[in-house]
């Protein structure tokens, strides 16, 4: 029985930790909120991206994770490739997100211009 509890704790802890990371955030400490966008795309961002890029898109890891003006710095094609293949610290999502989901994120992010 103890082994099962330990196994359950080890299995669920990372999911709980990641699942709660930013999921309930609506405002950043500076009072900034996430940019507007289609509800499905925002939900997808919250599920897949918020833990590293944050609610306000300023990034939580380093300056490279700040995507507030990503549409000014990268073309839509470059944004799509980054989402699909990742790079540096970012994992690729081509095996975990559908083409439609990647396209929705690409379109939304490409519109973010500083």
| pLDDT at residue 17, as a whole number | 34
Q: Distance between CA atoms of 79 and 86, rounded to whole angstroms?
A: 10
- The answer to whether the beta carbons of residues 80 and 71 sit under 8 Å apart is no
| pLDDT at residue 16, as a whole number | 33
**Termini Cα distance of the chain:** 55
4-61 pLDDT, tens per residue? 444 334 333 333 333 333 333 334 444 557 889 999 999 999 999 999 999 999 999 8
| pLDDT at residue 33, as a whole number | 78
Task: Compute CA 89 distance to the chain's CA centroid, rounded to the nearest angstrom.
Answer: 13
Locate the domains of the chain by residue range: 33-114
Class for the domain spanning 33-114: mainly alpha
- The answer to whether the beta carbons of residues 41 and 105 sit under 8 Å apart is yes
Q: Determine how many CB atoms are found less than 10 A away from the CB of residue 10.
A: 9
| pLDDT at residue 13, as a whole number | 34
**Span 71-96, average pLDDT:** 96
Which DSSP letter does residue 105 get?
H
Query: What is the pTM assigned to this prediction?
Result: 0.71
């Amino acid at each position: 029985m103890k082994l099962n509890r330990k196994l359950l704790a080890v299995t669920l802890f990372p999911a709980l930790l990641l699942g709660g990371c930013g999921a309930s955030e609506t405002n950043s400490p500076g009072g900034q909120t996430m940019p507007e966008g289609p509800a499905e795309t925002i939900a997808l961002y919250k599920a897949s991206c918020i833990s590293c890029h944050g609610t306000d898109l300023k990034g939580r890891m380093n300056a490279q994770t700040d995507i507030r003006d990503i549409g000014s710095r990268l073309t839509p094609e470059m944004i799509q490739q980054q989402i699909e293949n990742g790079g540096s610290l970012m994992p690729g999502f081509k095996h975990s997100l559908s083409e439609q989901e990647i396209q929705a994120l690409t379109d939304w992010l490409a519109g973010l211009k500083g």
